[in-house]
Amino acid sequence: MRLRLLQFAVFAVLILLWHVFTKPGLIPSFYFEQDNRAAFFFGEPLKVFWVIVEWFTSLEIFPHLGVTLLETMLGFVIGSVGGLGIGLWLALSNTASAVMEPYIKGFNSMPRVVLAPIFAVWFGLGIWSKVALGVTLVFFVVFFNVYQGVREVSPTLLANARMLGASRRQLLRSIYLPSAMSWVFASLHNAVGLAFVGAVVGEYLGSSQGVGYLILQAEGTFDINTVFAGIIVLTAFALVLDAIVGVVERRLMTWQPKASETEKV
């Protein structure tokens, strides 16, 4: 409870500072008082709050939010599954890893956001161009974590398991996957945000629906409060998806000792 109170206190302080910074007359500064420039550039928290309330009470946000969440979830799931599968394959096959290494590094070094216009040409302006961009952002984060997690399995542990007659499938199920799981979930927490980035950037480049589309329309009219409202809504739902990943992680990683238990030992 004390932790939650401290977190809420930090949030309240940030909102208060935002309000003081953008409220005319509260800061004795000629630059910010003139024409309320601070509010023009940084918005006002109360107006941002009422934009969000209006979106949800009028149900205007739900079609756009549904599209963005669908694009995000598809990009997240496809990219994560692809990264997990190919990461395991290359980590367990030295030959395939050696052959594919320069290509993997080359694609990872590419600024993948610039692929968005190409995906728009290939897949059109529907959801699949946004999903494709999200997949490219998520895939490499998961891939490299899985690859590293499998490669760091103790050779002594593998040798002992083989001496006891463990098959390749048993090694995969009982040693490789559990060893890589902590790496996988660490990457999934990062991948949630990247999947949102893929969806929103794709909506920026061409769409008629989505929270990114609402933000783009607000930018065109210099409505900074609506821009911040869209950012806050996206952040809130990204935190919700991250919390879901955390719940799945705790359920699948029950064998892993908690920090408090480790300290007691």
CATH number reported for the structural domain that contains residue 213 in this entry? 1.10.3720.10
Are 137 and 127 within 8 A, CB to CB?
no
Q: Which pLDDT score, from 0 to 100, does residue 254 have?
A: 63
Residues 33 and 91 in one domain: no
Residues 100 and 33 in one domain: no
CA distances from 203 to 86, 95, 149, 190 (A): 28, 40, 34, 21
Residues 153 and 241 in one domain: yes
Rounded to whole angstroms, how far apart are CA atoms 102 and 205?
Answer: 30
- 71 falls within a domain: yes
Give the number of other CB atoms < 10 A from CB of residue 47. Answer: 17
Q: Is residue 212's pLDDT more than 60?
A: yes
- Per-residue model confidence as pLDDT tens digits over 214-224: 888 888 888 88
Are 137 and 198 within 8 A, CB to CB?
yes
Residues 91 and 208 in one domain: yes
Residues 211 and 108 in one domain: yes
Are 254 and 220 within 8 A, CB to CB?
no
- 263 falls within a domain: no
pTM of the model: 0.80
Residues 67 and 113 in one domain: yes
- 265 falls within a domain: no
pLDDT category of residue 76 using cuts at 50, 70 and 90: very high
Q: Which pLDDT score, from 0 to 100, does residue 123 have?
A: 86
Residues 92 and 141 in one domain: yes
Rounded to whole angstroms, how far apart are CA atoms 45 and 22?
Answer: 9
**How many domains are contained in the chain?**
2
Residues 31 and 103 in one domain: no
Q: Is residue 263's pLDDT more than 60?
A: no
- 49 falls within a domain: no
Residues 172 and 148 in one domain: yes
- Per-residue model confidence as pLDDT tens digits over 78-94: 999 999 888 888 888 88
- Per-residue model confidence as pLDDT tens digits over 126-162: 888 889 988 999 998 889 888 888 877 777 777 777 7
Residues 31 and 64 in one domain: no
Structural domain harbouring 22: 12-42
Residues 91 and 145 in one domain: yes
Residue among 17, 27, 45, 29 nearest 224 (CA):
45
